[in-house]
Structure 1
Amino acid sequence: MTPPAEVGTLAQLVARAAELWPQRMAWIFDETGERFTFAQVDAETSRIAAALTDRGVGPGDRVAVMLRNQPAFPLIWLGLAKIGALLVPINTNYREFDGAHVLRHSGAKLVVAAPEFTDLLNRISLAEVITPAALSRESDHLGAALSRESAAFTPVPETPVNLQYTSGTTGAPKGCVLPNRYWTTLAISLATDFPAVGADDVILTAQPFHYIDPQWNVALGLAGGATLVVLDRFHPSTFWAKVREHEVTWFYCLGLMPTLLLRQEPSGADRDHKVRAICASAIPLDLHAELEQRWGVPWFEAFGMTETGGDIRVGAADHDETVGTGCIGRPSRDREVMIAGDDGKPLPRGETGQLLIRGIGLMHGYHDDPDATAKAFRNGWFCTGDLARMDDAGRVYYVGRTKDMIRRSGENVSADEVERALLLHPAVRLAAVIAVPDELRGEEIKAYVVCDGERPEPAALAAFCAEKLAYFKVPRFWAFADGLPLTPSERVAKGELRKVADLRAGAWDAKVETWL
């Protein structure tokens, strides 16, 4: 049996799990009750791999998937990994503008989508669209599933397996080329080091599969032999009931989720669960201790990025001392961290600078964007665009970010992408989008708009945006102006816009549909 340290591909993870724990439950889909053992995961992904091969999909080809949290998503992903092809996840909230960009830029050969999305994708008309049911029927007709012996291509650790789109600091979402080693490095680290997820664990994910988190949860379950419970999505009012129902022992959450959970009415059953640890990103500092007290379980901060995977996390030894401090932990075994100054050189401990990361299993680069890739890497170090400091013990503390990015309810929103969508409106001549601090969502979005001729109603602009972009990218606050401050290079001087004491004052609030 291949030891974990020597497993370098998703295909190897699947094969190893099927051999070690063939009848153990690998996945439970809560909404439908569908269940898969590790042996069934291996067999079903091979059938899908064979069906995709029969359709002409081969090494290096990209297949886009637009599905909600259903078994077909991870089955197709792992099937593609077995034949050296790449998954291109499409956010289920995308519309024509952002969806077309991902399809066009990725060069997807095929799209597998739920029936609810096929009309949208056919309007975009950039690739053939089929449903999971059609793909399943094709795999049934093949008779014999793809076997490891008959596979025409054997993936290696550096074989790309995902083209994962993420909102960049500027422009449209960029496609991160993620190799097999990205997933195995992350999964094996979590299985062998803290939190040491193993065959006695039941883990849970509530995020959409088009994000990386459910995907690395799949890889983690395969690496450690844990059962993965998949919820249809995050429901604050029933989340802990599901945790108790499925006897979950560990889960990861992020963004607004901890705050929304705390806002639920306390219950005598709050501590009636089997969870031994919770990992989360961006735990609210002033709520960290309250989270632990209410559910009687430690919450551990973690830091990672789509480009780099799992990089830094708090372990058991540092937990008690760092609750509520903003500490994100120490680098994982496969990572090195540097806090660098503007010259790229390391700063003394305690000083704030840019967080740089290097190690094995990082993305290969941004697809078809060598300039962005060159900017992201500096002498082998990935520049996160985040500010941090390191204490004398080598623990990292998150300080802030340098990017022109809005973080709304856990979603990264590129201001530039929203501005470009607004400029598609015939009345809009200039647009600028900035973040507005918000107690609940972390940040909200405000749009400043300069129009030619008659100004449209802000509700009409919001509706226009909703047709072009995912709902979480649509600005909440709107302001009209005759002009905007510009830099010498003719860019909007957003620093001037942010100097207003109350960014909400005088704006139209789409939530309450009134001027403030």
Structure 2
Amino acid sequence: MADPAPLQPKDGVARTGDYLSFHAALRPQATALIADGRSLSFSELRDRARFAASALAQAGIGPGGFACVEWTGLLDHMPLILALESLGAASASFLPDAAAQDHAEMLAHADLVLSDRPLAGAARRTMGIATLGAGLKAAGDPPKPPIDPASVYRMVTSSGTTGTPKVIAITLGQTERRLDVIQWMVGFSAASRFVHCMPYTFQGAQFQASACLRAGGTGIHVGLSELWDGLAEKKATHTAVLPFHFTMLESDETLLALPEGLTITSYGGAVPEPVRARFRQARPDIRLFETYATNELGTIAVRLTDGSYQCCPGSEVQIVDGDHRPLPPGAEGIVRIRKTGMVPGYIYNARASAEKFHDGWFYPGDVGLKPDATLFRILGREDSLINVGGVKFSADEHERVLTALPEIADACLLSRPNAKGENEIWVAVVSAAEMPFDALADLVSTALPDLIGTINILTVNQIPRTTSGKVQRQAVLDALNRREG
């Protein structure tokens, strides 16, 4: 009988577990993961991933399979993701306490759900994470299928800012291209220490952690309240954050204590200008990559100091009209993008695919312009452009003005027809301190002098946002409509 053909990567694609095995052989005692006061060396992480793969294989998971994994902590989660990848199966991460719509469709389609608690609407089978491998029949590695760039590696959801989240299938080949961009941009190495507070339901954190692990660096997870102090305590070289995380950086002492040369990657929206100015003035040594990215495409571009964006290698951005025709430089229009590593559409939702994907381009729902051939600007989201009396403006920019005020913790602008059918501006505000309503209304009016017509103020306890920090504007409007009858 002839020896089986060696498992060779195709088109430059490899499994993250193969990088892990390399580091486990070369530097077995080097620390791979740290969380909750515990750590795993590269050899221990490799062994956990192998054990999990054996247990999942005996449970019937193999090439083409799909499992949803509850986030119970980094040291449980990463071995399971690596195990599923080694079996040629796709993984998805979910939080049980998130909104049901965030993961309901994935749970319904999964072959297996790994969770330590009962879940409504779960898939055909559920296995406990803590008891995974109990009664395992045999040790050793299950057979690895050949590496297929077209096999699905991760299942994630879109942000769902205007409705039910849409499911995206990211292949091994697309993952490789996305990790290439991350590695090129931030430069992980064996000396890297990637400290983050986000679970892997946020794809930017999971991809950065994988890139760090591939380079032989250490992934460290901390609690949300520990993030900024933890960066110094854990001697971080890299972190990934959302714009709202910057609001938690209250102390100048904490800012000054951040590690020298720290690389911060921000996802999910623009960073407020006062934050940028604060970093430029106090910590010019820190590299702040404010990215323009989507789950559908990965990292597309990085913001420059003048507010424009520069495309990463492999990305192309055009500004088009409503008939998909490219507009001349400087003209405002609809943003469309194509790049290496993008998905061709959504799964389970052909209608949404037809709306967002056209002729090889992805339409993220943003409005922008290109001042020249190399740069572009984002003016706002299509669903955040407000039209009052024929005057259009971006709600995003005005929200950033409000949230920069110390008295306002969060804000959302939208328009709603009055009894005459004329659009009026509504501002939903989360107050950061106890303020009389009249004083709060005066503060908003003073901060937004350019707004025209009647400005209606609504105080709320929370602005609904996606896991990437984007305002769920439709949810705010629905709540307002219910409140106003």
Give the Å deviation of 1:253.
1.3
Alignment partner of 1:7 out of 9, 13, 16: 13
Corresponding residue of 2:246? 258
Deviation track 1:266-288 (CA, whole Å, cap 9, x = no partner) reads: 22772452343322232112431
State the alpha-carbon separation in 2 of the partners of residues 387 and 447 from structure 1: 18
Which amino acid is the alignment partner of residue 346 of structure 2? Y
User: Sequence identity of aligned pairs in percent?
Assistant: 22
State the alpha-carbon separation in 2 of the partners of residues 164 and 109 from structure 1: 16
Corresponding residue of 1:225? 216
Q: Which runs of 5+ in 2 are unaligned?
A: 1-7, 387-394, 417-429, 431-450, 463-482
State the alpha-carbon separation in 2 of the partners of residues 387 and 253 from structure 1: 24
Alignment partner of 1:244 out of 226, 229, 232: 232
Deviation track 1:68-115 (CA, whole Å, cap 9, x = no partner) reads: 4332212111111111212122234325565544422xx11221124x
**Within the alignment, does 1:401 sit opposite 2:381 as a pair?**
yes
Corresponding residue of 2:436? none
State the alpha-carbon separation in 2 of the partners of residues 348 and 200 from structure 1: 46
Q: In 2 relative to 1, CA 23–157 (structure 1 residues): closer, same or farther, beyond 3 Å?
A: farther
Contact 1:62 1:108 survives alignment (8 Å): yes
Give the Å deviation of 1:169.
5.3
State the alpha-carbon separation in 1 of the partners of residues 39 and 11 from structure 2: 28
Q: Secondary structure at the match of 2:364?
A: strand
Corresponding residue of 2:311? 331
Corresponding residue of 1:484? none
Q: In the TM superposition, what are the counterparts of 1:252-291 in structure 2 within 5 Å?
A: 252-261=240-249, 264-267=250-253, 270-271=256-257, 273-281=259-267, 282-291=270-279
Contact 1:376 1:382 survives alignment (8 Å): yes
Deviation track 1:366-408 (CA, whole Å, cap 9, x = no partner) reads: 11212222322221111111122233361232221114799xx
Corresponding residue of 1:494? none
Which amino acid is the alignment partner of residue 86 of structure 1? A
Contact 2:101 2:164 survives alignment (8 Å): no
Contact 1:207 1:213 survives alignment (8 Å): no
Q: Secondary structure at the match of 1:58?
A: coil
Q: In 2 relative to 1, CA 99–383 (structure 1 residues): closer, same or farther, beyond 3 Å?
A: closer
Q: In 2 relative to 1, CA 362–240 (structure 1 residues): closer, same or farther, beyond 3 Å?
A: same
Corresponding residue of 2:357? 377
Q: In the TM superposition, what are the counterparts of 1:153-232 in structure 2 within 5 Å?
A: 153-168=145-160, 170-191=162-183, 193-232=184-223
Give the Å deviation of 1:243.
1.0
Q: In 2 relative to 1, CA 265–384 (structure 1 residues): closer, same or farther, beyond 3 Å?
A: same
Give the Å deviation of 1:125.
5.2
State the alpha-carbon separation in 2 of the partners of residues 287 and 214 from structure 1: 21
Deviation track 1:401-430 (CA, whole Å, cap 9, x = no partner) reads: 114799xxxxxxxxxxxxxxxxxxxxxxxx
Q: Secondary structure at the match of 1:71?
A: helix
Count residues in correspondence. Answer: 409
State the alpha-carbon separation in 2 of the partners of residues 92 and 445 from structure 1: 30
Q: What TM-score comes out, normalization by structure 2 length?
A: 0.74
Corresponding residue of 2:296? 307
Alignment partner of 1:131 out of 120, 128, 131: 128
**Within the alignment, does 1:356 sit opposite 2:336 as a pair?**
yes
Corresponding residue of 1:113? 115
Q: Which runs of 5+ in 1 are unaligned?
A: 315-321, 407-433, 449-471, 473-497
Q: In 2 relative to 1, CA 394–125 (structure 1 residues): closer, same or farther, beyond 3 Å?
A: closer
Q: In 2 relative to 1, CA 397–14 (structure 1 residues): closer, same or farther, beyond 3 Å?
A: farther
Q: Secondary structure at the match of 1:267?
A: helix
Give the Å deviation of 1:332.
1.9
Give the Å deviation of 1:298.
3.5
Q: What TM-score comes out, normalization by structure 1 length?
A: 0.70
Q: In 2 relative to 1, CA 399–131 (structure 1 residues): closer, same or farther, beyond 3 Å?
A: same
State the alpha-carbon separation in 1 of the partners of residues 281 and 107 from structure 2: 46
Give the Å deviation of 1:446.
8.6
Deviation track 1:164-200 (CA, whole Å, cap 9, x = no partner) reads: 1223354421111111123322222222x23222222
Which amino acid is the alignment partner of residue 270 of structure 1? L
Deviation track 1:467-490 (CA, whole Å, cap 9, x = no partner) reads: xxxxx9xxxxxxxxxxxxxxxxxx
Deviation track 1:94-153 (CA, whole Å, cap 9, x = no partner) reads: 25565544422xx11221124xxx13x0x4354433221111435xx3442325xx32x2
Which has the higher relative contact order, 1 or 2, with Cα contacts under 8 A spaced 6 or more apart? Answer: 1
Corresponding residue of 2:52? 48
Which amino acid is the alignment partner of residue 372 of structure 1? A
Deviation track 1:213-242 (CA, whole Å, cap 9, x = no partner) reads: 22112221133222111113x21xx43321
Corresponding residue of 1:63? 67
Which amino acid is the alignment partner of residue 292 of structure 1? R
Alignment partner of 1:386 out of 363, 366, 377: 366
Corresponding residue of 2:5? none
Corresponding residue of 2:31? 25
Deviation track 1:420-455 (CA, whole Å, cap 9, x = no partner) reads: xxxxxxxxxxxxxx999462565449999xxxxxxx
Q: In the TM superposition, what are the counterparts of 1:491-502 in structure 2 within 5 Å?
A: 501-502=454-455
State the alpha-carbon separation in 2 of the partners of residues 306 and 158 from structure 1: 17
